[in-house]
Amino acid sequence: MSNQYQIEKIKKLIKGNRGDVSILIAVLILATVITIVFGISYIVVNLLKSSTELEGSLQAFYAADAGAERCLFEVFSGTTPGCGGASPSPISGSFTSNGSSYTAERINPNTIHSDGFNSNIRITRRVEVNF
């Protein structure tokens, strides 16, 4: 009899608190949805930031590559002052369309270092050419 009494008591408790249970379930569902939305937002923001950094990194790399190519051209054409000639000096250039620039120099007779910069997101990439 005592078990039956406790079961009846629990049934009355559940029936009497139907609104409370509904509110609790609604709050739990809402909290879950909000957590999922914030998680997805965090992932999307990081992907966008990574995409922007990748674009700037590529621009800096290609600027460094352009500087190395110009320096190689000057070496093989004997252009002075610049990378060619007996006393090579650093050269530089910029690309106004994307905010990138480069500085290249011949550090020994067969090696060129070229640094590419992206001023928009402050990224530097270096290319070394051995010939």
15/101: higher pLDDT: 101
The model's pTM: 0.66
Q: What is the dihedral of CA 50, 122, 102, 53, to 10 degrees?
A: 0
The one-letter amino acid at 129: V
Phi, psi dihedral angles at 123 (to 5 degrees) = -120, 140
Per-state percent for the chain, helix, strand, coil, to nearest 5: 55, 25, 20
Strand partners, 58: none
pLDDT tens-digit profile of 26-57?
A: 889 999 999 999 999 999 999 988 888 888 99
What would the two tokens of residue 96 be?
């106004």
